[in-house]
Amino acid sequence: MEESAVFAPVEQEEIRADIGALFRGAIRVMLECLLEQEVREMVGARRYERLGNRKDHLNGTYLRRLLTSMGEVEIAVPRTRHSGAPAGVVGRYKRRTDEVDHLVTTAYVQGVSTRDMTRLSQALMGEGISRSTVSRVTKVLGEQVEQLRRAPIDGPIPYLYLDATFLDARWARAVENVSALVAYGVDRTGHRRLLAVTIGAEESEQSWADLLAQLCERGLSGVQLVIADDHRGIAAAVRRHLPEAARQR
């Protein structure tokens, strides 16, 4: 590795696009999770279970494009042999898109709240849903979002790019100026990807330390060079969590 390597800063438009793609992925996971739970209610049994009270059978999936507050996503919609697809979730989502997207993106950035996941389950599965079903769906949904949020970082990441930026963007509810701390990883092939984002955090040693701790917990390894501005908080956080890495402005 050459410590004098030159890295072009990530442009604002690129950061905005990458964060939007990240959040669209979280929304897609949430919708597919709830569709799977609703089709399970329609069928009356888990996949491959042979029960006397089974109402129907699964019959594959089809792709459907759906407009979210972050842009368009393509979701896999399951269907049953006799009753068709669980259209209720999609219909309810369309009526409450901003609220649902806000809950999902908040859960991704700040961590899953059982209360918020319960609100999501109730909002998208209808008023007649039983408490036991709400509890089960809330648990599954929370696990899915948390799994996405804590996805392992595979392979060594020699170059870590850290930046704080302000974005004028529609984060589910309104157009507002939000603060974002972002971390990009560059692997040995030169491929760059967004590893983590924290929205609404002030730029301080603690906020950067929290972000780096999250990355290390997810398996960040092999960092040889950290590229960032000359912020004291970043420097201190890097010394704490990545003491072997060199730093470059």
Say if residue 27 is in the same domain as residue 72.
yes
Residues 244 and 124 in one domain: no
Q: Which CATH number fits the domain that encloses residue 180?
A: 3.30.420.10
Say if residue 62 is in the same domain as residue 181: no
Closest alpha carbon to 144 in 18, 36, 17, 16: 36
Q: How many CB atoms lie within 10 A of CB 46?
A: 9
Distance between CA atoms of 109 and 182, rounded to whole angstroms?
11
Statement to judge: residues 98 and 40 lie in one domain: yes
In a domain? residue 208: yes
Residues 68 and 191 in one domain: no
Using the predicted structure, report yes or no on whether residue 89 has a pLDDT greater than 60.
yes
**Are residues 26 and 94 part of one domain?**
yes
- Pairing assessment for the beta strands 71-80 and 225-227 based on DSSP bridges: unpaired
The reply to whether 140 and 177 lie within a common domain is no
Q: Which of 179, 175, 153 is nearest to 166 (CA)?
A: 179
Q: Which of 138-147, 194-203, 222-231 has the lowest mean pLDDT?
A: 194-203
Last residue of a domain, one of 149, 167, 190: 149
Q: Which of the residue ranges 138-142, 160-164, 200-204, 216-220 would you say has the lowest mean pLDDT? A: 200-204
Minimal CA–CA distance to 167: which of 51, 9, 25, 18? 18
Q: What percent of the chain has pLDDT over 90?
A: 24
Final residue in a domain of this structure, among 149, 172, 202: 149
Tokens 């696009």 belong to residue: 17
β-pairing verdict for 225-227 and 58-68: unpaired
pLDDT of 225 > 90? The answer is yes
- Check residue 52 and give its pLDDT: 46
Are 156 and 145 contained in the same domain? no
The answer for residues whose C-beta is within 8 angstroms of residue 131's C-beta and 6 or more apart is none
Which residue, 149, 171, 204, sits at the end of a domain? 149
Provide the residue range defining the domain that includes 71. 18-149
Give the mean model confidence (pLDDT) for residues 172-183.
68
Same domain assignment for residues 141 and 42: yes
DSSP calls for the chain: --TT---PPPPHHHHHHHHHHHHHHHHHHHHHHHHHHHHHHHHTS-TT---TT----EEEEEEEEEEETTEEEEEEEEEETTTB--HHHHHHHHHTHHHHHHHHHHHHHH---HHHHHHHHHHHH-TT--HHHHHHHHHHHHHHHHHHHT----S---EEEEEEEEEEEE-SS-EEEEEEEEEEEE-TT--EEEEEEEES---SHHHHHHHHHHHHHTT-----EEE--S-HHHHHHHHHH-TT-EEE-
- 105 plus 166 within the same structural domain: no
pLDDT of residue 55 exceeding 70, the answer is no
Residue at 229 is within a domain: yes
How many domains in the chain?
A: 2
Are 145 and 168 found together in one domain? no
One domain for residues 116 and 174: no
pLDDT digits (tens, 9 = 90+) for 63-88: 999 999 888 999 998 888 767 777 88
4 within domain boundaries: no
